[in-house]
């Protein structure tokens, strides 16, 4: 299985349970790795892979329109979107709020999951 990665994608998102977090969107940072078919490299055709430009545009749009109470729910939403809409066989996601706590650079969640029983690769 081949992988595409997107690192340090910064997106404005509505996420949080505290009043201060509900007054406006926050910047969240996403790091994604997701499996793609081997056919992409074999055929050199975008139709055989997952278009990372479409993934990032979809994430930006959805996180700009929805509110999530928990960063865990936001992460699950992105993982399920990659499985359901983009047909990724495997996803690793790290999503973090930036600067929301004093003396803490980031706070977030890390999710790794395979779709339909696919085993998560140890080296990805």
Domain boundaries, the chain: 2-117
Q: How many CB atoms lie within 10 A of CB 69?
A: 14
* Banded model confidence at residue 65, pLDDT cuts 50, 70, 90: very high
**For residue range 20-59, what is the model confidence (pLDDT) as tens digits?**
888 999 999 999 999 987 787 788 888 889 999 999 999 9
Report the distance separating Cα 48 and Cα 4, nearest Å: 13
Residue 87 has a pLDDT of 93
Chosen CATH of 2-117 out of 3.40.50.1360, 3.30.300.250, 3.30.1490.20, 3.30.1130.10:
3.30.1130.10
Residue 73 has a pLDDT of 97
Residue 122 has a pLDDT of 64
Ranked by mean pLDDT, the top range of 32-46, 55-69, 87-101 is 55-69
Could you tell me which residues are beta bridge partners of residue 109? 95
Residue 45 has a pLDDT of 85
**What integer best gives the mean pLDDT of the chain?**
90
Are the CB atoms for 33 and 92 separated by under 8 Å?
yes
- Percent of the chain exceeding pLDDT 70 equals 96
Q: Please, what is the angle between helix 52-65 and helix 71-84, to 10°?
A: 140
């Amino acid at each position: 299985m081949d992988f595409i990665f997107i690192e340090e994608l910064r997106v404005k998102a509505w996420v949080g349970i505290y009043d201060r977090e509900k007054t406006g969107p926050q910047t969240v940072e996403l790091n994604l790795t997701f499996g793609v078919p081997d056919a992409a490299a074999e055929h050199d055709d975008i139709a055989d892979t997952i278009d990372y430009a479409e993934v990032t545009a979809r994430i930006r749009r959805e996180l700009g329109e929805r509110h999530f109470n928990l960063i865990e729910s936001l992460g699950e939403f992105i993982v399920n979107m990659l499985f359901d809409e983009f047909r990724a066989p495997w996803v690793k996601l790290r999503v973090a709020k930036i600067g929301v706590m004093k003396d803490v650079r980031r706070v977030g969640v890390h999710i790794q999951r395979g779709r339909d029983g696919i085993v998560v690769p140890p080296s990805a």
